[in-house]
Chain A
C-alpha cells in the first residue's frame, strides 16, 4: 500500500510533466532538455540498476545464511547510492553554474522537482539501509534471522521502486 501511494505521488508529478509539455511551445521541452548531461545520466542509470542487483543479492545472501556476503552487497548498494548522489550533485551545480534554476523555465521547474523528489527518496532509502548495515540495525539477524531477512526484502522492494521511477525519469527528462 505504501508503494501504491508512492506510485500516485510520482504519478501526479508525471501528470504535471505531460500537462506542461502539452502546453509548451513546439520544441521548448526539447530545447531545455538538451541542456542536460546525457552521458552522466546514462552512467547514473547504470549505477542505479547495479544497486538494484546488489540489494537483491544482499537479500539472497541472507537466504543462503551468508551474513558476510550480505554485509558486502549491502555496502555496495550504499556505495552505488552515494555515487548516484555525487553525480547528481555535479549535475545540479553545473546547471546552477550556467544560470539554470527551477525558475528558468517550466521544463527546469519540473526537472528539479522530479529529480529532487527522487533524490530525497534515494537519501531516505540510504538512511534505512545504513541502519540495517550497521551493527545496531543488524543485531536482529543473530536473534531472529527470518524477521531480519523480511526487513531487508521490504527495504529492497522500496529500493527497486526508486529504480523504477528513475527508469521513466531518464528518458522523459534527458532524451525526449
Chain B
C-alpha cells in the first residue's frame, strides 16, 4: 500500500470519529428535545428530523454512500420512494376513513 493510500485511510478515520461525535451529540439532543413543551405534531417532526440527519450521516459516511456508484444511488432512491409509499398509505387511508 502506498503512503498516499495510507494517508487517505487515515483521513477517513478522522471523518469516522467526527461523525461518531456528531451522532452521540444528536442522540442526546433527541432525548432533550422530547422534553420540550411542544404539540405532538411538532414533537414528531422534530424527532424524525434529527433521526433523518443521524441516518444521513451513517449512510453517507459509514456506508460510503456519498462516494458510491450512481447505480447504487438510483436503486436506493427507488427503495426510498417505495418506503415513503409505505409510510403514506396509512395516512391516505386514515384521511379517507375520517373523511377529512
Contact = CB atoms under 8 A, between A and B. Distances in A.
B67 interface: no
B16 A53 contact: yes
A170 B44 CA distance: 12
Interface residues of B, number: 44
Interface string A37-81: 010001001100110110011001001110000000000000000
B15 to A, nearest CB: 10
Point out which of B12, B48, B90 has the most chain A C-beta atoms below 10 A from its C-beta. Answer: B90
A4 interface: yes
Nearest to A12: B86
Interface string B63-100: 10000000000011011101100110111011000000
Contact of B86 (A11, A52, A65, A171): A11
Contact of B27 (A11, A30, A45): A45
A128 interface: no
A14 B84 CA distance: 10
B43 A176 contact: yes
B55 A14 contact: no
Given A175-B47, A176-B44, A15 B63 contact: no
Given A42-B27, A63-B9, A171-B48, A176 B40 contact: yes
A172 B79 contact: no
Interface stretch (A18-26, A101-109, A135-143): A18-26
Contacts of B48: 168, 171-172
A52 B62 contact: yes
Contacts of B89: 15
Interface in B29-75: 30-31, 34, 40, 43-44, 47-48, 50-51, 54-55, 58-59, 62-63, 75
A170 B30 contact: yes
A30 B76 CA distance: 32
A171 B82 contact: no
Contacts of A49: 20, 23-24, 27
Contacts of A168: 48, 51, 55
